Every structure is written in structure tokens, then in C-alpha cells.
Amino acid sequence: MKRGTLIDQIKKKKSFLCVGLDVDLDKIPPHLLQEKNPLLAFNKEIIAATKDVCVAYKPNIAFYEAYGEMGWEALEATIDLIPDEIFTIADAKRGDIGNTAERYAEAFFKKMNFDAITLNPYMGKDCVAPFLAYEDKWAIVLGLTSNKGSEDFQMMEDENGEALFERVIRISSGWGNPSNTMFVVGATQSEHIERIRKISPKHFYLVPGVGAQGGDLNEVCRYGKNDDIGLLVNSTRGIIYQSKGKDFAEKARSAAIALQQEMADHI
Amino acid sequence: MKRGTLIDQIKKKKSFLCVGLDVDLDKIPPHLLQEKNPLLAFNKEIIAATKDVCVAYKPNIAFYEAYGEMGWEALEATIDLIPDEIFTIADAKRGDIGNTAERYAEAFFKKMNFDAITLNPYMGKDCVAPFLAYEDKWAIVLGLTSNKGSEDFQMMEDENGEALFERVIRISSGWGNPSNTMFVVGATQSEHIERIRKISPKHFYLVPGVGAQGGDLNEVCRYGKNDDIGLLVNSTRGIIYQSKGKDFAEKARSAAIALQQEMADHI
């Protein structure tokens, strides 16, 4: 997807909501377990109920992988179900070199038609560059994550006081451009979002951690928004697992609308 | 696998060779393409030809993933083919938090019966701990990799001169112990292997980069070996892609034996 298309969608829908699709047989409504592929049946209803209020979907690849062939079948079919104008993110957090990265790019960008993939920067440029070779596809590089372990290494500072997460964003923003690169910036660390915005004024951020993990949407917008909005805020549990009954899709829709309406005030 | 079993195997076979199984339809002998699952047919012959001279196999998960269901089928069947006394490493370089990490652990340790998985430390302890909860399974944490991009971030130093790769090894060695944690230490950077051995005297290292990537086995042994050998040296292209003819398994065996004999001198 082109950057312009994404921005148009955000303005049109007055939403920068990304819905996480972390399918889990223990959490989906039990009546779906009788379906041929319960994971796909769940996603199908969630997508139908939320596609007019969100601008992106983000399946977490680990969940699909854990179900083997049934999982991959559900993932491939899910991507085909999502309308073209909605941005799709393979939350895979891959990070591997040259020919391996090329294989991953092939799997997620060609075999499945994802718009973007999340990438881990630890091994450097070789792990990101192969994804930037695809036109209208995006690399979303982990910058500052929202988990507790983000303090273990991402906060390490060099002698000039630059933290690893700042270095990652500064250096990797030079590998591509704001039309093919985004960064993961956790919502739980809003004091750092302002610093990150100075390093990468034009880039989009994929922001996890709003809601269940404690991040605040107003804080994220205050420090993270740019002229093109520049944010995709993800919510997973707060939307897709609101009910285990037959009304699960309806409840997901209500939760998505509630969050979208908060977002509309910031657009 | 228990640490003691791995060490026994190394001493018995006079080998610390790990064979990389990076299957690629463009590189395997063309006559195998008629097989029902060419990837599996290839692995089957490679394993039969090398299992008495190596102590570990390392399938690179990206390659299997790229082939979708055929790839996963080949991967699962490959693991079942490998004798129990040979250490199996899922080279997945995963790095994700809590429930996602648990899913990956389930996929690689329970659904498939791998002994170990490679993990990316960027997101910290949350990404490694769930794998350490499995008895007799191993987390292999990326320390210093052998690719060019390793310089981008792994070499970053704090005000005391400690590099990120040293910090990763120092801190993450405290999350588990030398019986459930290894580190990836690239062979191309032998000047650093000595520094790493000081930080983690008892741990095993998975060493890529010998051969095709320019690493030298003697250098690796000189700086990296410990009392229990403490090394698994991986070779992929140098073994499995020596021929595209019907003699490919035979050629793989010869290459594996040549490397094993070099290793025998160090045991």
C-alpha cells in the first residue's frame, strides 16, 4: 500500500485503529469450535464487524504457527478476506540475514499479500534491506517496545547518552524512507515518544500497548502525532475478546467504535 | 536433551558439527523435484548420509515457512527422522513477549520435538524466559552474529566500554544456566570470542560462519573451546549443497567427514 492511500483511509474513516488478530482456541467463543477451521471462522466475523472502523489488521504470526497447517490455512485465507484498502501487518518480528530475509519477504509479501511486516533490528541492516526492495510494502522496525524486558537492552546508553532504541530509529530510518518504513513505539512509554518523534518526524509508528497494557491514547497523540497523523494504534484483547458468546462480533464492533470515536477527536 | 548427553555425543563421535538444513528448491538436485515432498526427500538423504558424523541439525525455519504447508509438513517429518541422540535446533530467531513466546515454545518444543530454538534478545527477558520453563530444552540467544549488520547495533558501547553483545551475554546468562542456555557467537569475529568466553565460561556456543562466510575453525577452537568443548560449529552450504547430481548425499557425507576430522584434533 502507498503512504498516500493509508493517510486517505485514516482521514476518511477518522480512525487510526489497527485491530490485532491473535487467534486462540482457548479464547474464541466455544460455538465456533465446531467449524471446519474455527480460527478462520472467528476472523471472518471479526473482520466483517470491524472493517469499516479500522484502517489496519495485524495478525500475530506466532498464534497461527502454533496451530500448524490449520493455522497457516487460516492466516492465508484471512489475508484474502481483508479488503484491499485496509493495511495488513504480519506481526512476525523477524530478524535474519540476506537469503533468509528474502525467504521471509517472499512468504509474507508474495505468497501472502501482506502490506507490512514487523522486524527485529538486532542483526542490523542486512535483516531489513531485503524487505525494502518490494514496492509499496513496508518494514516496521522494533524501536521501543511496550514490555517489561524493553529495559534490559533497549535502554542501554552510549557515552553520549543516546539509548539503543534511539540509535535503532536514527540509523534504520536511513535505510529506507517514510514511505516504506515504520517503527514500533510502545504506548506505555509516552515520555520517550516525544524523543523518538524528534528523530523521525515523518515516519508512521505502530503503537501497541494502549488499553490492556496501560498506554493512554491521549498521551500517545500528544507526543506522537505528526501532520499526517503518523500513528497506527493497535488494540487486540480490548476488541476481539470482549465476549465468548454468539454476540462476540457485535461486542468487538462496539469496542472498536468506542476507540475509533476517541481517535476521531485527534484527527 | 540434557547437557551431559550432548557432551557424551561430542566425545563419542569426536565431532561438534551441526549441519544446517536450509532447504531450497532452487538448490536441491533436480531429480528430487518429482518426489511428493522434495524438501523432505532431500533432508531424508542428507540425514542418512551425515547422522553418524554430526551431533546436531539446524533447520532454518524461514526456508520451510516460505513453502507454506509443504514446508511445514517437511519440517515436522524431518524432525521425526532425526535420531533422538542428535541435538535439534529450530533456527527461528524468534523474539516476542509472554503469551506469544509461549505459543512459539509450544510450536517448537511440544508440537515439534526440537531440543533448542534460537532467540533474539532485543525485547529482553520476557522473550527468553518462557522457553527456559521447559525441562531439557534450550534457548540459544543471539549474542554476536556473523553478518555485516552485526556492526550496526551489537557493537554499540556504553560509557564503560561494554558492547551490546557483551551486555546481552552477561545479562541473559543470568536468566537460565549453562544447561539450558547457549549463545550464537559468529566465527567471523574470533577477536571477540575470547572476550565472550570470559563472560560465559561454561556455556555452549552455536557458531555459524565457518567456511563459506570466512570463519576459521582453529581460531574458533583456540578462543572459544572450554573443558566440555562448549562449541557446536554449524556448516550449511559447505555440506548440503556440494552437488546437484544423484551423488549429492555422498558428497555431503564427504564434506561432513572432512570437517569432523578437523574437529577430532580439537577434542
CB contact, 8 Å: B27 with chain A? no
Contact (CB<8Å) A145/B123: yes
Question: Å from A216 to nearest chain B CA?
Answer: 20
Residue of A62 and B56 predicted with greater confidence? B56
> Residue B107: closest CA among chain A residues belongs to which residue?
A66
A24: pLDDT strictly greater than 80: yes
Q: Is the pLDDT of residue A215 over 90?
A: no
Evaluate if residue A214 carries a pLDDT over 80: no
Q: Does A94 touch chain B (CB under 8 A)?
A: yes
B159-168 long-range Cβ contacts below 8 angstroms, 24+ apart: B159/A157, B159/A158, B159/A159, B164/A153, B164/A156, B164/A164, B165/B192, B165/B196, B166/B195, B166/B196, B166/B199, B167/A153, B167/A156, B168/A153, B168/B121, B168/B141, B168/B142, B168/B143
Q: Other CB atoms closer than 10 Å to residue B94's CB: what's the count?
A: 30
- pLDDT grade for A161, boundaries at 50, 70 and 90: very high
Q: How many residues does chain B have?
A: 267
A145 grid coordinates: 517496545
Interface test with A, best of B80, B110, B113, B152 (most A CBs within 10 A): B152
Band (A69; pLDDT cuts 50, 70, 90): confident
pLDDT in tens, chain B (267 residues): 999 999 999 999 999 999 999 999 999 999 999 999 999 999 999 999 999 999 999 999 988 988 878 998 999 999 999 999 999 999 999 998 888 899 889 889 998 999 999 999 999 999 999 999 999 999 999 999 989 999 999 999 999 999 999 999 999 999 999 999 999 999 887 789 999 999 999 999 999 978 766 678 999 999 999 999 999 999 999 999 999 999 999 999 999 999 999 999 999
Contacts of residue B58 in chain A, CB cutoff 8 Å?
Answer: none
Q: What's the pLDDT score for residue A68? A: 79
The pLDDT score that the predictor gives to residue A20 is 97
What integer pLDDT is reported at residue A99 of this predicted model? Answer: 82
Q: Is A110 touching B (CB cutoff 8 A)?
A: no
The pLDDT of A19-24, averaged and rounded, is 95
A181 has a pLDDT exceeding 80: yes
Nearest to B44 by CA among B75, B71, B13, B9: B75
CB nearest B65 (choices: A22, A107, A122): A107
Task: Tell me which of B21, B26, B153, B237 to substitute to probe the interface with A (most A C-beta atoms closer than 10 Å).
Answer: B153
Residue B136 contacts A where some CB pair is shorter than 8 Å: no
Quote the pTM value: 0.94
Minimum Cα–Cα distance from A60: chain B residue: B100
Closest-CA distance, A124 to chain B, in angstroms, reads: 4
Give the start-to-end residue ranges of the domains of chain B: 3-264
| Cell 535502554 -> residue | A155
Q: B124, A149: Cβ pair inside 8 Å?
A: yes
Give tens-digit pLDDT for A34-53. 999 999 999 999 999 999 99
* Domain range B3-264, CATH architecture: Alpha-Beta Barrel (3.20)
Instruction: Output the CA–CA distances (angstroms, integers) from residue A241 to A95, A238, B103, B221, in the order listed.
Output: 30, 7, 18, 52
A144 in Cβ contact with A187 (< 8 Å): no
Return the pLDDT at A213.
Answer: 66
B96 close to A (CB below 8 A): yes
Catalytic residues of B: 93
Q: Give the tens place of pLDDT for each residue, A92-148.
A: 999 988 888 998 898 899 989 999 999 999 999 999 999 999 999 999 999 999 899
**Chain B contact for A155, CB < 8 A?**
no
The pLDDT of residue A100 is 85
Give the model's pLDDT for residue A212.
65
Q: Which positions in chain A touch B237 (Cβ < 8 Å)?
A: none
* Chain mean pLDDT for chain A: 94
